[in-house]
Structure 1
């Protein structure tokens, strides 16, 4: 049984301090329990809304309405109004258009939502969803799994209802497998739309529909290819020009070999990313690993993030994915360095030990409700195994090439959050929300939106603080 130190066993006794540090480094490199210093109070989760099926993200709208929009994977977008009430009618329902989802587990569905920066004036927004497959397939004996689509819509005359007849298809591509879809849409501080797309699915980036790349030691794959398709990439497009979109002139492969839409590449399943609301507005992304390591990346223009040459900071072995190759290239065929993640977490299947099924990228905290959290990057894990509702929450300090991070111990759930963690959200004030459920797949009605809050100290705590002054 793996030893998991607690505050009592690990931090209150000086004679165990060195042992505690060693054990934590062995179990979860770079991580320890988050015990706020000084007079910071405990942190907890507060239920904001419930009765969702599979809520995977919360998105704030850039107008003055203070509404929050919740993406439910099964094809609906719900509104939480400024008073914290979930409206009874969804803002949008595209469930009839979706590919049929597997209720036991599925990575497809309605995956992303982004409001145009000028939404208050133009009422335009964008979604990422997946339809039944088109005819044909990636090989003569294989069919496509689904059709991924980025589409623009507008709100109707009633501001809480979308106009489904306003759909304008922006971008489509065929997916060879059901998983590794990426799924985030977000407008950057430059006003361009960013899109994260996975490597196409299956494992190793080597299945049918995964093209050969420049690296002969690993068969495949889409992550390292920049010409055959858009899989395994983060895209950046201009939805204000062109038909149906334009290309930012400083995208890295404009007038060079490579697809003009690509902003960065070398990803496996970049499920969730966000832009820091403050600071230098970094693009921070969680990329799901395979069997050994999960990673958080700071994404820069033209960057190659390694997959499938590397998994995390290690040389990936497509022929035997539980074993690490002794060496691999430091740069790609274009001379671009393979960029290591700023955070690496052991996958739950790692023989060295680990607890993360999948990393869930979050947000940099820029709110004011939680003392001492400004500038912390808050992220998490889906669960600790695929049959346990025990996702975990972490707080990282964005500094240098390897960020330190700590597990957040919630007052009501000191060991985990008590749910599958499906996604995050951030309101216009910088406060952070979790989207969770108790079901592994898109079924039931256990989905909830939770808000991270600071817990007010009780009278005994206040008295103790006063006595310690």
Structure 2
């Protein structure tokens, strides 16, 4: 049995999420130690505030981080095109990789995501996702080109081999926004790539195709044949197909069906960050004007954009809850697990920043709960409690006063060893912070 088949057999894959549910309150797990109706220990109380240990400072718009296995090294991607190296807690002056002459920055463009190959100790590939000037195949009136590339890291982990960059995938981007940017490897060894709907507003305008839904113009979120926009893709970076530098997993949902084989799930507006928790894949889809959402993603799932924004009809008094029978057999429009409004209440914001389920030891009251944030939730995080059905209840998770100024904006989360790291900017500029108990 090869590595990928072994991983899938041991851990399960995202493809099996059709019947997956969150742990109920009657279930005890090692990770969250939830109490049972026959059990003995009540779950620890949710902390009223949390503190932030600053791991790195002096960064400029840090958007993603990768932890090097079995080494005291972390890589932090800055939007401007630098990948910085943290070694034993110190920020090295020499970057791992400098893409500033290659990357287009500004607005929602730049160096947006990084991921290490699952076998990085022996396969030294680092995957990078960035915005580039229009390349061959990108229409002249389009904004830029989406680039997914790989580079090979030196054995000491502090640099990349000169000339090792290889383009894996490019996608023409009609607008400058809704670029998503997150790339993550799943337990199956495949790479999951978040792709926005192409930008502008409402999934319409230049570069947006017509779909099956006539009540609202557009859009790429509901189309799986014309382009790869508005979707989460799944590709095999250890293979190739013809001139493509990647292969298509045989069990991708559209293999042998109408549509582009790279699609794994669709109906997204701007899935800015992705996160993996065991066999679960989460996507935070940034909303248009009213609601933000976090989706638990399953293979072949349609998450509704631009028919719906979260659980609500978009620009229509009523809307269907499934596609017509003629469109992939009438697939359901799936609801998020987390939703919150742009205005009103203690839980509100403008751009969801997906975190992950907390599995650490420092904050027992967070164990088994989903920690996330919003771009402009100054000095606040949010925490959702998973449940088997419906929307998860959400409440604010304030940052202690002494540390609140560190987070005027939140860009990204990363989990390592179960502990949660927050990348953002504040009074001291850009930084990486680890959640801890408030002092």
Normalising by structure 1, we get a TM-score of 0.79
Pair 1:418–1:239, CA change in 2 (3 A): closer
Pair 1:136–1:64, CA change in 2 (3 A): closer
Structure-1 separation of matches of 2:91 and 2:352: 28
- Aligned position for 2:370: 377
Q: CA deviation at 1:157?
A: 4.5
Q: CA deviation at 1:354?
A: 7.2
Q: CA RMSD in A?
A: 2.2
Structure-2 separation of matches of 1:154 and 1:237: 19
* 1:59–1:426 contact (8 Å) kept in structure 2: no
Structure-2 separation of matches of 1:257 and 1:411: 52
Counterpart pick for 1:356 among 349, 353, 356: 349
Residue-by-residue CA offset, 1:145-171 (whole Å, 9 max, x unaligned): 011110111112442112241111110
Structure possessing the higher radius of gyration over alpha carbons: 1
* 2:346–2:396 contact (8 Å) kept in structure 1: no
Q: CA deviation at 1:115?
A: 0.5
Gaps of 5+ in 2: 1-42
Tell whether 2:74 aligns with 1:79. Answer: no
- Aligned position for 1:330: 321
- Aligned position for 2:419: 431
Gaps of 5+ in 1: 1-35, 318-324, 385-389, 440-444, 457-469
1:162-201 to structure 2, matched below 5 A, reads: 162-201=160-199
Pair 1:393–1:413, CA change in 2 (3 A): farther
Residue-by-residue CA offset, 1:82-137 (whole Å, 9 max, x unaligned): x21112211111111012x23xxx11000111101111001012110111113786
- Aligned position for 2:125: 124
* 1:227–1:259 contact (8 Å) kept in structure 2: yes
Q: CA deviation at 1:347?
A: 1.4
1:24-423 to structure 2, matched below 5 A, reads: 38=45, 42-61=49-68, 63-81=69-87, 83-99=88-104, 101-102=105-106, 106-134=107-135, 143-243=141-241, 244-276=245-277, 278=278, 281-317=279-315, 325-332=316-323, 333-334=327-328, 335-348=330-343, 355-383=348-376, 390=378, 392-400=380-388, 401-412=390-401, 418-423=407-412
Pair 1:410–1:353, CA change in 2 (3 A): closer
* 2:73–2:85 contact (8 Å) kept in structure 1: yes
Q: CA deviation at 1:39?
A: 9.4
Q: CA deviation at 1:343?
A: 0.9
Q: CA deviation at 1:51?
A: 1.0
Residue-by-residue CA offset, 1:221-270 (whole Å, 9 max, x unaligned): 00000000000000000111114111111100000001100000000000
The alignment of Structure 1 onto Structure 2 pairs a total of residues equal to 389
Structure 1 runs (4+) greater than 3 angstroms displaced: 36-42, 134-138, 352-355, 413-418
Structure-1 separation of matches of 2:203 and 2:122: 42
* 2:111–2:128 contact (8 Å) kept in structure 1: yes
Q: CA deviation at 1:392?
A: 3.0
Residue-by-residue CA offset, 1:357-381 (whole Å, 9 max, x unaligned): 1010111111111122221111000
- Say which SS state the counterpart of residue 447 (structure 1) adopts: strand
Structure-1 separation of matches of 2:363 and 2:382: 15
Structure-1 separation of matches of 2:424 and 2:157: 27
* 2:138–2:145 contact (8 Å) kept in structure 1: no
